[in-house]
Amino acid sequence: MGIFDFLTGEFIDVIHWVDDTRDTMVWRFEREGHAIKYGAKLTVREGQAAVFVHEGQLADVFTPGLYMLETNNMPILTTLQHWDHGFQSPFKSEIYFVNTTRFNDLKWGTKNPIMLRDPEFGPTRIRAFGTYTVRVKDPAKFLVEIVGTDGEFTMDEISFQIRNIIVQEFSRVIAGSGIPVLDMAANTADLGKLIAAEVSPVLEGYGLEMPEFYIENISLPPAVEAALDKRTSMGLAGDLGKFTQYSAAEAMTAAANNTGQGGGMGAGLGMGMGMAMANQMANMASGQPSGPWGAAASSQPSTPTTPPPPPPVEHVWHIAVDGQTSGPFSKAKMGRMATEGEITRDTHVWTAGQDGWKKAGDVQELAQLFTILPPPPPGA
């Protein structure tokens, strides 16, 4: 065996790359001294591209297929090397395999709220998040602009930069779209296409493209969402008069179900009001007008009048003494307790709808229970 045969046998003659990492975008074919045998076989699979770099200068780009590395299919590299036809010695070049498939389910989102002027709510803030896909469109440009000499370039190394570009364009498009926040959910597909169109020119400068872009959610601050919920509840209430009657009936039902002290009066009141309202509803169903307590009105024609409001709901009270609570007590029971000295003006009380515990003397409804007692002496 001659020295030439020995050298040609030492250099690799099959060049290919199989990727099983799912996130590698560029991989450099490693060979000591970057020596590649003239006439070697290069296999480029579907979803790949092979880029030759010779002495720091980009030479040839190979698309999917099987190649014999000879002068007839390496015109640029042949020109750089000044080869004559049939030259058989090894040459030194770096080979980068570029993954041209789509990288799916990549996340994006607004780190901080976006300020915008909504036509309905005025100045407000929103957040948004979603997913996108990206792929290498121009392997040579991507290698020159982004990868450089990195031997193994992954999607994580550029995803943060892409997210920043998306958020910047999303903020600009949303702020200038003039679409009300309440209508954005119905226009996410169109917004996604518009934002992808704005992001694409920037990515093309990197040799990338964005085939798909999705907006999964656009949300308002919690305070604004709470106000919207209240507004929706008011819309569902409809007729406020009927809603008031319904609320009163619910409160009386709750009082009737109360088995504590003072519950007897609540049960009687709830039963009486329930029968009266049932009678009134029956008269309304039969087409006969009814009075406030369900009694049929006179058969004489009369002008319709506004029905009187429902009777006030009886409050029941809880008492806190020495860290212990008791109750609930009806107002009548509270009056007897005030007379017997079991509660005073300084006793803390609470009822449904009241903002925290208050002294009985500070509650207008209970303050009158103590008017029959003399006030405490000065300095007490």
CB 152 within 8 A of CB 134: no
85 lies in some domain: yes
- Which stretch of 94-108, 248-262, 280-294 has the lowest confidence by average pLDDT? 280-294
- Per residue in 157-166, pLDDT tens? 999 999 999 9
Cβ atoms 367, 359 nearer than 8 A? no
Residue 352 or residue 263, greater confidence: 352
Q: Within a domain: residue 147?
A: yes
* CATH code at position 348: 3.30.1490
Point out the domain boundary residue: 48, 76, 99.
99
- Rounded to two decimals, the pTM is 0.54
Reply yes or no on whether the pLDDT at 117 is more than 90.
no
Task: Give the domain CATH number at 212.
Answer: 3.30.479.30
Our count of domains for the chain comes to 4
**pLDDT at 189 (0 to 100):** 87
Highest mean pLDDT out of 30-44, 265-279, 317-331:
317-331
d(CA 28, CA 50): 9
144 within domain boundaries: yes
Shared domain check, 338 and 250: no
- Give yes or no for a cis peptide into 307 (omega within 30° of 0): no
Q: How long a stretch of residues is the chain?
A: 380
End residue of a domain, out of 64, 99, 134: 99
**pLDDT the model gives residue 287:** 53
Answer with the one of 65, 99, 133 that is the final residue of a domain: 99
Query: Residues 175, 91: one domain?
Result: no
Residue 295 lies inside a defined structural domain of this protein = no
Is 133 a residue whose pLDDT tops 90? yes
Asked if residue 362 belongs to a domain, the reply is yes
Q: Decide if 199 contacts 168 (C-beta within 8 A).
A: no
19 and 42 assigned to the same domain: yes
Contact 349, 318 (CB under 8 A): yes
| Residue 271 and residue 217 in one domain | no
Could you tell me if residue 298 is inside a domain?
no
- Its domain, for residue 75, covers 3-99
- pLDDT of the residue at 67: 86
Pairwise CA distance, residues 71 & 326, whole Å: 99
pLDDT tier at 7, thresholds 50, 70, 90: very low
Is the same domain home to 13 and 42? Answer: yes
Q: How confident is the model at residue 262 (pLDDT cuts 50, 70, 90)?
A: low
Question: Do 210 and 111 share a domain, yes or no?
Answer: yes
* 65 and 120, same domain (yes or no): no
Residue 301 lies in a domain: no
Helical segments of the chain, H only = 3-10, 75-81, 139-142, 156-177, 181-184, 188-204, 222-237, 240-256, 263-286, 331-339, 364-367
Q: What is the tens place of the pLDDT at every residue in 197-226? A: 999 999 999 999 999 999 998 888 888 788
**Gap between the Cα atoms of 26 and 93, Å rounded:** 16
Are 77 and 114 found together in one domain?
Answer: no
**Whether residue 196 sits in one domain with residue 129:** yes
On whether both 132 and 217 belong to a single domain, the answer is yes
Q: In this structure, are 116 and 201 located in the same domain?
A: yes
Q: Does residue 153 sit in the same domain as residue 220?
A: yes
The answer to whether position 331 is within a domain reads: yes
For 63, phi then psi, to 5°, come to: -90, 175
